[in-house]
A and B are shown apart, each in its own frame.
Chain A
Amino acid sequence: MGKVIVVTSGKGGVGKTTSTAALGAALAQRNERVVVVDFDVGLRNLDLVMGAERRVVYDLINVIQGEAKLSQALIRDKRLETLFLLPASQTRDKDNLTPEGVERVITELRRVFDWVICDSPAGIESGATLAMRHADMAVVVTNPEVSSVRDSDRIIGLLDSKTLKAERGERMEKHLLLTRYDANRAERGDMLKVEDVLEILSIPLIGIIPESMDVLRASNIGSPVTLADARSAPAMAYFEAARRLAGEVLPITVPGEKRGIFGKIFARRAA
């Protein structure tokens, strides 16, 4: 049985889709079977970031409505054998995303894949709550900036109350992925400190992704950043985050800092 991860944030534009693609590819690069699922019905973008926008025939809504089989809607990545995309519908109404349909699709995907990564739409409406509903763990994507931190806090509250795991009285595993981290601004003191964000949100950190041209370039050419340039700083950070998702324990690398200084945050995380 595969693991279901929701990539969520509350706020838009913080890097959910980029992170879904990069984490999905990073896990697939470890030869694990991965599907990335776009839940943003009406505003799909995961296909673009994955570079599969010209190959979309059927989508999640077609599968939910019984107009296509799951196997027909899945798009295999051209670069990685074990990476698949289930696109969202661009034209259909998001009311077609029914709880029963989502449950059926996720159950089926969980049987076939090692990782099912759900890219949540922004906001706290039904699309976002359906994307998180069946998750085993959550990746909360946050920018070191006040409104993003507050929205993430709100989403964490929903993860602890509106998911199947929460309703069963179990604990949802939540991980913080700090994105668009600017080492220069951090040094000048113009950005929330990593420690501050961690203290406010009090969930464990799985990675800090630096603000980088490489991320923009990767989405321009339609490739997850871990595939576009595996040696780049953001790609390395995503690889590390993927390893932590898979259960490895590694010290966190802070962009622009030498390793070691971060013993402090690592210790806090383990506490």
Chain B
Amino acid sequence: MTKMLTDARSIRIKGRSFLAVVLAPDLPFDDWLVRLDDLAARSAGFFLGRPVVLDVTDLPIDRAQLKELITELAGRNVNIMGIEGGRPSILGQGMPPALKGGRPVSDEAVAKEPIIELRNSEPKPSAPEARPTLQSIVIRDPVRSGQSVIFPEGDVTIIGSVASGAEIIAGGSIHIYGTLRGRAMAGSLGNASARIFCRKLEAELLAIDGIYKMADDMAPGLRGHSVQLWLEGDSIMAEKLI
């Protein structure tokens, strides 16, 4: 059955990043839980309402042990939202989903008082003003079919073309000094001011801040031209660059 689409509004699909506390238990779990209880007694409610990720990288445990640990933690009001570094054999149905690609952050970003030992917790001179640093990467080669460039931290600049079947995903804007034949998704973590620039537009798909445009929806007059694209409200605007 095909449903009639009467609502012209598009569905917004967005990527967002959240900070999560990562707990990396060690064996035996009983001893570790005792230490955790001791910690929790000293700062009550630390885990309450926080997303917690369990890091089980390199732990020689089986599925039953993992399940038991999760139950133990749930009993302490620690709810696991995902598991990092778990072999597929110990994950699965009824388990929190596997997470990968996590990056460590500084202590102060997670806890107001540094009571939990987080990874990458070397003492950092606290800057007087925590200003997010703008980041960008430059890729000097053509991006080939089947390759993806994913850079949620900021802008991506490609010196060369992006082939059909390749994709660029940037947290910020995308600049392509070549032909864009593949897919480009700018502002992927929710950034409505991100833009896409390319020297020649032949794209399969464009997206800014979760608003998508397929090849068929693009104005035919733009094909083959130097184009910049941006977002106004819920629609992608485009204009030729000279």
Contacts and interface: CB of A to CB of B under 8 A. Distances in A.
A–B direct contact (CB < 8 Å) = yes
Interface of A: 150-151, 153-154, 156-158, 160, 199-200, 202
Contacts of B163: 150, 153, 200
The 5 residue pairs across chains A and B that have the minimum distance between CB atoms: A157-B144, A153-B145, A154-B145, A154-B146, A153-B163
Given A160-B141, A202-B142, A150 B147 contact: no
A160 B161 contact: no
Interface residues of B, number: 14
Contact of A202 (B161, B165, B166): B161
Interface string B54-76: 00000000000000000000000
Residue from A153, A200, A202 with most neighbouring chain B CB atoms (10 Å): A153
Contacts of A157: 144-147
Contacts of A200: 161, 163, 179, 181
A199 B181 CA distance: 12
Interface of B: 141-142, 144-147, 160-161, 163-166, 179, 181
A162 B160 CA distance: 21
Contacts of A150: 145, 163-165
A214 to B, nearest CB: 32
28 contacts: A150-B145, A150-B164, A150-B165, A151-B145, A153-B144, A153-B145, A153-B146, A153-B163, A153-B164, A153-B165, A153-B166, A154-B144, A154-B145, A154-B146, A154-B165, A156-B144, A157-B145, A157-B146, A158-B146, A160-B144, A199-B161, A199-B179, A200-B161, A200-B163, A200-B179, A200-B181, A202-B160, A202-B161
B229 to A, nearest CB: 22
Do most interface residues of chain B lie in helix, strand or loop, or is the interface mixed? loop
Contacts of B146: 153-154, 157-158
Nearest to B181: A200
A150 B182 CA distance: 11
Contacts of B145: 150-151, 153-154, 157
A171 to B, nearest CB: 10
A153 B166 CA distance: 10
A16 to B, nearest CB: 18
Contacts of B181: 200
Given A151-B145, A160-B141, 10 more contacts: A150-B145, A150-B163, A150-B164, A153-B145, A153-B165, A153-B166, A154-B165, A156-B144, A200-B163, A200-B179
Among B146, B161, B165, find the residue whose CB has the most chain A CB atoms closer than 10 A: B146
